[in-house]
Amino acid sequence: MHRRPRGATLPGMSDEQWYYCLKHGTVEGADGCRAADRLGPYPDRESASRALEIARERTESADEADREWKERGAAPQGGSGD
For residue range 11-28, list pLDDT tens digits in order: 555 679 999 999 999 999
Element (H, E) at 59: helix 51-72
CA angle centred on 64, ends 42 and 61, rounded to 5°: 10
| DSSP state, residue 5 | P
Q: Work out the pLDDT band at 79, boundaries 50, 70, 90.
A: low
- Chain mean pLDDT for the chain: 84
Q: How far is the C-alpha of 15 from the C-alpha of 59, rounded, in Å? A: 28
Range in 10-14, 50-54, 71-75 with the lowest mean pLDDT: 10-14
Three-state DSSP class for residue 36 = helix
Handedness of CA 11, 8, 19, 23 (dihedral sign): positive
